[in-house]
Each structure stands twice: as C-alpha cells, then as structure tokens.
Amino acid sequence: MAWRGLHLTQPARLALADGQIVVRQEAGEVRLALEDLAWLVLDTPQVSLTGALIAGCMEAGVVVVSTDARHTPNGMMLPFHTHHRQAGVARLQVAAGEAVKKRLWQRIVRAKIGNQAAALAACGRGAAPLRAMAALVAPGDPENVEARAAREYWKLLFAGFTRENGGDLRNMLLNYGYAVVRAVVARALVAHGLMPSLGLHHDNAANGFNLADDLVEPFRPFVDRAVWQLTGEGRRREGEPSLEERRQLATIPLAGVQQGQERVSLLVAAEQSAASLVRALDGGGAAALALPVLAAPEEA
C-alpha cells in the first residue's frame, strides 16, 4: 500500500527503472519504489519526466500535482478508472436519489463543522458556537449552516481575514494545502471506482472533481490548523509561501487523524472514506460514511 509522497522543489530529471522512480539532481540520484508513492508534487518548472514514468505513475495510482510560477498548485493528473467494479460503482452513483445525497451531504457538513470547532479548540479559540451550529445542519443543508459556520470560524481563527483576499499569505498557504489534500481525496475516489465528476452536493458542469470537492470538506480543517501554526498563530504576513512552508503543507497527507476507532494518516483516512462512500451508496445509507475527526485538546 502507498504510504508516502514526493515533493520536488529543485531541478530534477525523473525516470522509471525496475519499478522505481529515479530522481536525478546535481547532488546525486535517489530511487524510490513507485508502489510506495501516493502523490507527487512538482513544485518547480525545472523538472522533466519520461513518458514511461508518467505511465508508471498512472498504473501505480500515483496522483501528480503541478504548480504555477508562484508555486500555487494548478493541476493534477489521475489514472483512468481501473477498479474491478468500475461499472457497478458508476451505476450506484448515477442511481443515487436526492434524499440519499442530501443525507450524505448533511453528514459531511456536520463533520466539517465539528472539525472546524476542534481546530479552533486546538488553537486556543472558542469552539462552542460552531459545535452548536453542527447540530443544526439538516439533510442537504437548506439553511446553509455551512456558510454561517464558515463566517464565524474564519473570524475566530484568523484576525482581519477573508477568504476572498488572494494577496493574504494565509490564503496562499491554505490553497496550497487544500490542493494537496484534494488530490489525495480524488486519488482515493478513483481507486475505489467512483467518478469524481459526479458530486453529491457540488454540481458544476465545468468541474471534473465535484465529488472530490464534496468529500474533501471535513479534511480542510487539518490544513487550517497547520496554516495557523505555520504563520505564528495565524498572524498576517506579506510575501509568498516559503520553501519550508510548502514542504510542510506537502506532507499534510501524513498527518494523523482519528477515523472511527483507529488513528491513521490523512492519506489512509481518505481511502477509507472513499470506500465507505461506496458502501453508503450500495444500501448502507449515510451512517455508513466514515469521515475523519480532528481531536480537540481535551479529546487528544
């Protein structure tokens, strides 16, 4: 099972040899078993990849993330669907009724708000208002409690902050971390035969990752907490993400999370959530959907 990622920030030439990814740089050569890799972040334009390596990454289920000139993730490459029940799982997605999708979205939003409350508690902020809001989420969230909770959440977590301010370093860091987590969630969905374009709540015809954008929501607070720590308890700072900050965020999939009775990595939690979503669509209902829990200090 894949358990690690690779984050490249220096010029490199990548190739495939004997089932290994070969990384050649000025300092020398490193080889890693391709089967151990789950994600690859190309955080520099000075990287070249052979066609054989790209094909090998797709066969091994490695998601490849690219970045732009400002080191902002701007794309990802996923393998074609290769799950043994691909057609059957696709039929489950297409056949899912609105009532089921609304109950699943309710569970996702409640988990997200619960994790936001735990993130606030971990950062020494008041979490009680969000905990109360989580209980108000109805199937489909018709009252848009998610947005109301978000307004309260950002106000408490970061001073003088709005998600719309693209020049705020905190937003740049959040977007970087979110892109990495979204990639591993999309990877997990494909690995379990799900079509990431068919969402439960998100339904943008131009978005090939609607389902990933649904399932990623409870994972976002793990990134938020990391950014709060990286920015010195959420302080605003000018400039762009540093190399060390990007490296830290590229390892987010290795962060520990609570999934049911287990303590697992975020990467494993994404895979378990995707598998549980298939079970939920296959008659298990919303209660079958397993989502990660961010432990508050008193729960750690």
**Per-residue H/E/C for 235-250:** CCCCCCCCHHHHHHHH
Please count the other Cβ atoms lying within 10 Å of the Cβ belonging to residue 235: 12
Q: Which CATH number do you get for residue 63? A: 3.100.10.20
pLDDT score of 242 more than 90: yes
Judge if 21 and 144 occupy the same domain: no
* pTM of the full structure: 0.93
- The structural domain count of the chain equals 2
* Number of other residues whose CB lies within 10 A of the CB of residue 11: 13
Question: Among residues of the chain, what percentage have pLDDT more than 70?
Answer: 97
- The model's confidence at residue 299, banded by pLDDT at 50, 70 and 90, is very low
Over residues 97-122, the pLDDT tens digits come to 999 999 999 999 999 999 999 999 99
What CATH number does residue 225 fall under? 1.20.120.920
- Residues 137-157 pLDDT 10s: 999 999 999 999 999 999 999
Residues 122 and 42 placed together within one structural domain of the fold: no
- Using DSSP bridges, classify how beta strands 4-8 and 37-42 pair: parallel, antiparallel or unpaired: parallel
Distance of CA 99 to the CA centre of its chain: 26
Same domain, 124 and 243: yes
Query: 252 and 122, same structural domain?
Result: yes
Which residue did the predictor score with more confidence, 234 or 86? 234
- Same domain for 63 and 90, yes or no, is no
Q: Within this chain, do residues 61 and 146 fall inside the same structural domain, yes or no? A: no
Contacts of 262 (CB under 8 A, 6+ apart): none
The per-residue pLDDT for range 244-285, each reduced to its tens digit, is 999 999 999 999 999 988 999 999 999 999 999 999 999 999
Averaged pLDDT score across all residues of the chain: 93
Please answer whether residues 180 and 252 qualify as being in contact, where contact means their C-beta atoms are separated by less than 8 angstroms: yes
Range of the domain at 46: 4-77
Tokens of 232: 């010195």
Predicted confidence (pLDDT) per residue in 37-94, tens digit: 999 999 999 999 999 999 999 999 999 999 998 889 999 999 876 666 778 898 999 9
For residues 2-25, give the mean pLDDT.
95
Any idea what the Cα angle at residue 150 is, between residues 293 and 145, rounded to 5°? 90
